C-alpha cells in the first residue's frame, strides 16, 4: 500500500495566495445568481427550470444548507433528502443509498453523477467498493431525483439519480482556506481558489484528510459462528469495526467562453475493511482506490437560430487494491475442516478500470410551445487488468499451511475475474410541450444498445399542471434499467458466487403523482405518492447469478418549509414506503417503512445561527427466511452552531452529532445457508455514538 503523502498540507498552503487579487469574495446569499437556488433544478430535463414545474420528483440541497448542517461528508447531507436513507454495507462500511425501500448491499440501483457524468464502477455497478466517503467542501449543490431516470441517463438510473455539482470560479470568489478536526482523530484541510487567468475562469480545489473512524463494537461475527461449530477460538469479536481512512481530493476547472475542461482526482488510502469482507473482523485489512476523471465540454447556447448545442467527451480511470484477511489466524477453512490457516485466510484482489464516453446533445426551440432535446452517445467501459494473490484455493482449502509465506499469485491461473469490456451506443429524444396555458407535457424515450446483453428502451411521460399561481400538480410515468455488473456476469473461481453471461438487465416502472402548494410566502408544502414494479431482479440462486424475482413498492413523501419568524426557519420531511417481495409475498426487508427528518435554523443573535436536526428511522423488517426480531428504529439529534467573523472573512462551526449517544444500527445481510448455518453479523452494523466536529474557513 502507498503511504499518505506527507507534503499535501504544505502544497495546500503554497496555493493560498493564488488569485486573491483577481476575484472578490462572494456572499452565500448571492450565489443563487450564479448557479440557481433551491427553487431551480437541471437534472430533470437537462435544462434549468423551476423545481415545482420539473417533470420529476426532485430535491435540491445547496452549499448554504450544507454549511448550516456542519456536514463533513456527502452521506450526512443525503440523509436529509425525503425518501432516501443512508444505510451501511459490509463492503468497507460503504454507504447504501436506500431510495423508496430498494436496498441491496452493493447498492447498484442508484446512479451517481458528478457534473452530469456517471462515476459508476463496472465491477459491482456501484461507485466502487473502496468508496471512503466524499468531502462536501467543493460542492455547490446536490440534485436528487427519486424515481426512474433512464430515459435521460441510461443504465443504473433505477431507484434514483444523484448529481453533485462542484463549485465554479465565480461561486468560490477568491481564495478560501479551511480546516476541521474532531472525534475519531478526524483531521481535514483544504483550499478553494476561484480566479481569472487572463480570459480563463479557473476553479481549484485541493483537500486532504484522515480519520480513524468510529470503531464501534461488533459483538459477534462470521468467525464466531465457525468457532462455535469447530471448537476454535479465532474470532476477533467482540471487537471494533476497522473503519479508518486517509483521503486526498482535488479538481481543476477551466472555463473560457463556450469551452470547459475539468480534471478530478480522488485517492483513498488505508481504508479499513469495516466488519470484514467475509463479515469476519479484520483489524489489519486495508484497501486503496484511485479515481481520475476528466471531461471536455463545448456548449453553445446560440449555436444557430433556435439551437442550443453541447458536445462532451469524458474519461474515467479507476483502480482498487485490497490486502485482506478474510478469516483470522487459527480459523478452519469453512468448507474444508479440519484444515486450518496458520496466518488466516489471506486474499488480495487488485483491479484496474477504464471508461470512455462521448455525447452530443441539442435543444431545439423553433417550434412554438415546444422545447425538443435530442442526443446520441457512445461509452466503452472495461476492466483491463486484474491481479490476485492469496493463500487459499478456489474451494477455500489452504495453500500449504495457510501462512503468509504461502500467498501465491493466481492472476494467470484462477483469478476472481478476467479482463472484460463493454460498449454501449445510445440515442434519446425528449419534448417539452406547453400544449395549453398552464399545462406542459414532457415525453421522452431512450434506447441503449449494449455489446454484452443487447438493447433496452425506456420511455417517460410527465404531465404538469400549474393549477394556480401557488399550486402545481404532476402525474409521472417512467421506466428504468440496471445493467448487470461484471461480477454478476463474469465472476469465476468462487464456489458460492458464479457469474452468468446470459443475464438480462433489471427493470422497473414507476407511476407518481405530486403536488406543491405555497399557501403563503413563508410556507411551502410538497407531497407525492408513488408505486413501482421491479422485475428480472438479479440474485445468486444455487451459487449462480440469475434473473429471478419481482418487487413492488408503494408509498408517499411529504415536505414542508416554514419561515416562522425572520430569524427562524423550520423544515422537514416524512416518508413512508412498503415494498413486497412478490416471490414470498413478504416485506422486502432492511429498509425503514417510516423516516422523518426535522431541521430548525435559528439566527438567535446577529452573526450566529444554531441548527438542530432530528433524524428518526423506523423499525426495519427482515427479509424472508431471516428469523431475527425486526431491527429497532432509532432517533438521532445533531446540533451545529455557526458564525461569521466581524469582517465576514471567518466562518466557524461546531457540531455535536448523535447528541444523546443513541445506539443506532443498520441491518446486516441475511446470509444463512446450508453451507453456513448462522448469520455472520447477528447483531447488525453499529453506527457511531456521540461525536464532535469543529471546522473553520477563512476567505481571503
647 vs 246 pLDDT, higher one: 246
What distance in Å separates the CA atoms of residue 171 and residue 492, rounded to the nearest whole number? 48
Distant-in-sequence contacts of 662-667, Cβ < 8 A, 24+ apart: 662/634, 662/635, 662/636, 662/689, 663/634, 663/689, 664/617, 664/634, 664/636, 665/631, 665/632, 665/634, 666/87, 666/88, 666/96, 667/87, 667/589, 667/590, 667/620, 667/622, 667/631
Phi-psi region of 279 (alpha: psi -120 to 50; beta: other; left: phi over 0): left
Q: Is the pLDDT of residue 694 over 70?
A: yes
Q: Report residue 477 as a C-alpha cell.
A: 410515468
Q: Is the pLDDT of residue 1 over 50?
A: no
Q: Is the pLDDT of residue 34 over 90?
A: no
Q: Is the pLDDT of residue 28 over 50?
A: no
**β strands within 28-130, DSSP E:** 40-41, 49-50, 57-62, 84-88, 95-99, 110-114, 117-118
For 14, phi then psi, to 5°, come to -60, -35
Cα–Cα nearest to 179, from 502, 652, 538, 629: 652
Q: Is the pLDDT of residue 646 over 60?
A: no
Q: Which residue has the cell 417539452?
A: 432
Sorting pLDDT into bands at 50, 70 and 90, what band is 164?
very high
Question: How many distinct structural domains can be found in the chain?
Answer: 1
Sorting pLDDT into bands at 50, 70 and 90, what band is 12?
very low
- Find out whether 593 and 578 touch, Cβ atoms under 8 Å: yes
Measured at the CA of 229, the angle between CA 226 and CA 234, to 5 degrees, comes to 40
Least trusted range by pLDDT, from 25-34, 122-131, 497-506: 25-34
Sorting pLDDT into bands at 50, 70 and 90, what band is 340?
confident
As a whole number, mean pLDDT of residues 170-195 equals 96
Strands 186-197 and 174-182: antiparallel
The percentage of the chain sitting over the pLDDT mark of 70, rounded to a whole number, equals: 93
**165 within a domain of the structure (yes/no):** yes
- Find out whether 205 and 264 touch, Cβ atoms under 8 Å: no
pLDDT at 423: 98
pLDDT at 3: 40
pLDDT at 673: 86
Strands 110-114 and 160-166: parallel
Distance, C-alpha 567 to centroid of its chain: 33
CATH of the domain at 573: 2.40.170.20
3-state DSSP assignment of residue 43: coil
Q: Is the pLDDT of residue 335 over 70?
A: no
Q: Is the pLDDT of residue 33 over 50?
A: no
Q: Is the pLDDT of residue 314 over 60?
A: yes
State pLDDT tens for residues 196-205.
999 999 999 9
- Find out whether 55 and 442 touch, Cβ atoms under 8 Å: yes
Q: Considering only the C-alpha atoms of the chain, give the largest distance between any 2 of them, rounded to a whole number of Å.
A: 79
Cα–Cα nearest to 196, from 240, 151, 257, 135: 257
Q: Is the pLDDT of residue 644 over 80?
A: no
The percentage of the chain sitting over the pLDDT mark of 90, rounded to a whole number, equals: 88
3-state DSSP assignment of residue 431: strand
pLDDT at 19: 38
State pLDDT tens for residues 412-427.
999 999 999 999 999 9
**408 within a domain of the structure (yes/no):** yes
Q: Report residue 604 as a C-alpha cell.
A: 438567535
Q: Report residue 296 as a C-alpha cell.
A: 471536455
Least trusted range by pLDDT, from 99-103, 495-499, 660-664: 495-499
Q: Is the pLDDT of residue 32 over 70?
A: no
As a whole number, mean pLDDT of residues 525-553 equals 95
pLDDT at 696: 95
pLDDT at 11: 34
For 46, phi then psi, to 5°, come to 95, -5
pLDDT at 13: 31
3-state secondary structure 556-575: EEEEEEEEEECCEEEEEEEE
- The mean predicted confidence, pLDDT, of the chain is 92
Output helix, strand, coil percentages for the chain, rounded to the nearest 5.
10, 55, 40
**β strands within 198-329, DSSP E:** 200-211, 217-218, 239-240, 245-256, 259-272, 286-304, 307-327
- Find out whether 138 and 90 touch, Cβ atoms under 8 Å: no
For 226, phi then psi, to 5°, come to -70, -35
pLDDT at 23: 38
- Find out whether 548 and 539 touch, Cβ atoms under 8 Å: yes
**3 within a domain of the structure (yes/no):** no
What distance in Å separates the CA atoms of residue 690 and residue 214, rounded to the nearest whole number? 10
**2 within a domain of the structure (yes/no):** no
Q: Report residue 273 as a C-alpha cell.
A: 475493511
Q: CB atoms < 10 A from the CB of 21, how many?
A: 11
Q: Which residue has the cell 445457508?
A: 673
As a whole number, mean pLDDT of residues 318-332 equals 95
Sorting pLDDT into bands at 50, 70 and 90, what band is 597?
very high
3-state DSSP assignment of residue 583: coil
State pLDDT tens for residues 146-162.
999 999 999 999 999 99
**1 within a domain of the structure (yes/no):** no
**95 within a domain of the structure (yes/no):** yes
Sorting pLDDT into bands at 50, 70 and 90, what band is 21?
very low
Sorting pLDDT into bands at 50, 70 and 90, what band is 18?
very low
- Find out whether 110 and 97 touch, Cβ atoms under 8 Å: yes
Bridge partners (DSSP) listed for residue 312: 297, 359
Sorting pLDDT into bands at 50, 70 and 90, what band is 336?
low
pLDDT at 675: 82
- pTM (2 decimals)? 0.94
- Find out whether 388 and 338 touch, Cβ atoms under 8 Å: no
Distant-in-sequence contacts of 518-521, Cβ < 8 A, 24+ apart: 518/470, 518/471, 519/470
As a whole number, mean pLDDT of residues 489-511 equals 93
Q: Is the pLDDT of residue 235 over 70?
A: yes
Q: Is the pLDDT of residue 498 over 70?
A: yes
State pLDDT tens for residues 261-303.
999 999 999 999 999 999 999 999 999 999 999 999 999 999 9
Q: Report residue 451 as a C-alpha cell.
A: 455489446
Least trusted range by pLDDT, from 38-42, 418-422, 446-450, 608-612: 38-42
Task: State the residue range of the domain holding 207.
Answer: 8-699
Q: Is the pLDDT of residue 35 over 50?
A: no
Q: Is 518 exposed, middle or buried (0-12, 13-18, 19+ CB in 10 A)?
A: middle
Instruction: Respond yes or no on whether the N-terminal peptide bond of residue 238 is cis (omega within 30° of 0).
Output: yes
Amino acid at each position: 500500500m502507498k503511504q499518505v503523502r506527507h507534503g499535501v498540507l504544505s502544497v495546500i498552503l503554497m496555493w493560498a495566495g493564488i488569485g486573491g487579487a483577481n476575484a472578490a469574495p462572494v456572499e452565500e446569499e448571492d450565489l443563487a445568481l450564479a448557479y440557481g437556488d433551491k427553487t431551480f433544478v437541471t437534472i430533470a430535463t437537462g435544462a434549468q427550470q423551476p423545481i415545482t414545474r420539473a417533470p420529476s420528483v426532485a430535491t435540491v440541497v445547496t452549499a448554504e444548507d450544507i454549511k448550516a448542517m456542519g456536514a463533513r461528508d456527502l452521506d450526512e447531507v443525503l440523509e436529509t433528502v425525503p425518501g432516501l436513507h443512508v444505510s451501511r454495507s459490509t463492503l468497507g462500511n460503504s454507504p447504501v443509498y436506500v431510495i423508496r425501500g430498494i436496498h441491496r448491499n452493493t447498492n447498484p440501483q442508484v446512479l451517481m453523477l458528478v457534473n452530469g457524468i456517471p462515476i459508476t464502477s463496472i465491477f459491482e455497478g456501484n461507485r466502487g467498493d473502496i468508496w471512503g466517503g466524499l468531502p462536501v467542501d467543493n460542492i455547490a449543490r446536490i440534485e436528487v431525483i427519486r424515481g426512474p431516470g433512464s430515459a435521460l441517463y441510461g443504465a443504473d438510473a433505477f431507484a434514483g439519480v444523484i448529481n453533485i455539482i462542484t463549485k465554479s470560479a465565480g461561486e468560490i470568489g477568491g481564495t478560501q482556506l479551511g480546516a476541521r478536526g474532531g472525534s475519531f482523530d478526524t483531521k481535514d484541510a483544504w483550499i478553494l481558489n476561484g480566479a481569472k487567468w487572463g480570459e480563463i475562469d479557473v476553479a481549484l480545489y485541493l483537500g486532504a484528510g484522515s480519520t480513524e473512524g468510529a470503531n464501534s463494537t461488533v459483538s459477534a461475527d462470521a468467525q464466531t459462528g465457525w468457532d462455535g461449530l469447530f471448537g476454535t477460538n479465532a474470532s476477533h469479536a467482540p471487537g471494533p469495526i476497522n473503519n479508518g481512512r486517509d483521503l486526498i481530493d482535488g479538481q481543476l476547472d477551466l472555463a473560457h467562453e463556450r469551452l470547459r475542461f475539468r480534471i478530478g482526482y480522488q485517492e483513498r488510502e488505508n481504508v479499513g475493511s469495516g466488519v470484514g469482507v467475509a463479515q469476519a473482523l479484520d483489524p489489519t485489512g486495508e484497501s486503496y482506490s484511485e479515481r481520475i476523471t476528466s471531461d471536455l465540454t463545448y456548449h453553445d447556447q446560440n449555436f444557430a437560430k433556435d439551437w442550443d448545442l453541447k458536445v462532451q467527451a469524458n474519461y474515467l480511470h479507476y483502480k482498487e487494491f485490497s490486502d485482506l484477511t478474510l478469516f483470522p489466524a487459527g480459523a478452519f477453512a469453512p468448507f474444508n475442516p479440519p484444515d486450518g490457516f496458520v496466518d488466516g485466510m489471506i486474499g488480495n484482489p487488485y483491479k484496474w478500470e477504464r471508461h470512455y464516453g462521448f455525447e452530443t446533445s441539442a435543444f431545439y426551440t423553433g417550434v412554438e410551445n415546444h422545447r425538443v432535446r435530442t442526443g446520441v452517445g457512445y461509452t466503452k467501459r472495461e476492466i483491463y487488468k486484474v491481479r490476485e494473490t492469496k493463500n487459499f484455493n478456489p474451494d477455500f482449502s489452504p495453500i500449504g499451511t495457510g501462512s503468509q509465506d504461502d500467498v501465491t499469485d493466481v492472476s494467470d491461473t484462477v483469478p476472481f475475474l478476467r479482463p472484460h469490456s463493454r460498449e454501449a451506443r445510445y440515442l434519446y429524444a425528449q419534448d417539452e410541450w406547453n400544449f395549453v396555458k398552464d399545462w406542459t407535457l414532457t415525453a421522452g424515450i431512450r434506447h441503449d444498445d449494449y455489446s454484452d446483453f443487447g438493447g433496452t428502451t425506456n420511455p417517460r411521460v410527465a404531465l404538469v399542471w400549474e393549477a394556480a399561481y401557488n399550486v402545481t400538480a404532476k402525474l409521472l410515468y417512467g421506466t428504468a434499467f440496471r445493467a448487470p455488473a461484471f461480477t454478476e456476469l463474469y465472476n469465476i473461481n468462487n464456489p458460492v458466487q458464479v457469474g452468468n453471461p446470459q443475464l438480462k438487465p433489471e427493470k422497473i416502472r414507476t407511476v407518481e403523482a405530486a403536488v406543491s402548494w405555497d399557501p403563503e410566502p413563508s410556507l411551502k408544502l410538497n407531497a407525492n405518492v408513488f408505486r413501482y414494479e421491479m422485475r428480472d431482479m438479479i440474485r445468486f440462486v444455487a451459487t449462480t447469478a440469475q434473473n429471478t424475482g419481482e418487487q413492488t413498492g408503494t408509498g408517499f413523501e411529504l415536505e414542508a418549509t416554514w419561515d416562522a419568524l425572520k430569524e427562524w426557519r423550520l423544515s422537514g420531511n416524512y416518508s413512508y414506503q412498503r415494498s413486497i417481495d412478490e416471490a414470498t409475498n413478504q416485506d422486502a426487508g432492511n429498509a425503514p417503512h417510516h423516516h422523518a427528518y426535522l431541521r430548525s435554523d435559528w439566527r438567535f443573535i446577529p452573526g450566529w445561527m444554531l441548527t438542530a436536526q432530528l433524524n428518526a428511522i423506523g423499525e426495519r423488517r427482515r427479509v424472508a427466511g431471516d428469523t431475527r426480531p425486526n431491527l429497532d428504529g432509532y432517533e438521532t439529534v445533531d446540533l451545529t452552531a455557526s458564525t461569521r467573523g466581524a469582517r465576514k472573512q471567518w466562518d466557524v462551526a461546531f457540531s455535536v452529532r448523535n447528541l444523546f449517544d443513541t445506539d443506532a444500527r443498520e441491518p446486516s445481510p441475511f446470509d444463512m445457508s446450508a453451507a453456513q448455518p448462522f448469520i455472520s453479523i447477528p447483531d447488525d452494523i453499529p453506527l457511531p455514538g456521540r461525536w464532535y466536529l469543529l471546522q473553520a474557513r477563512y476567505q481571503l
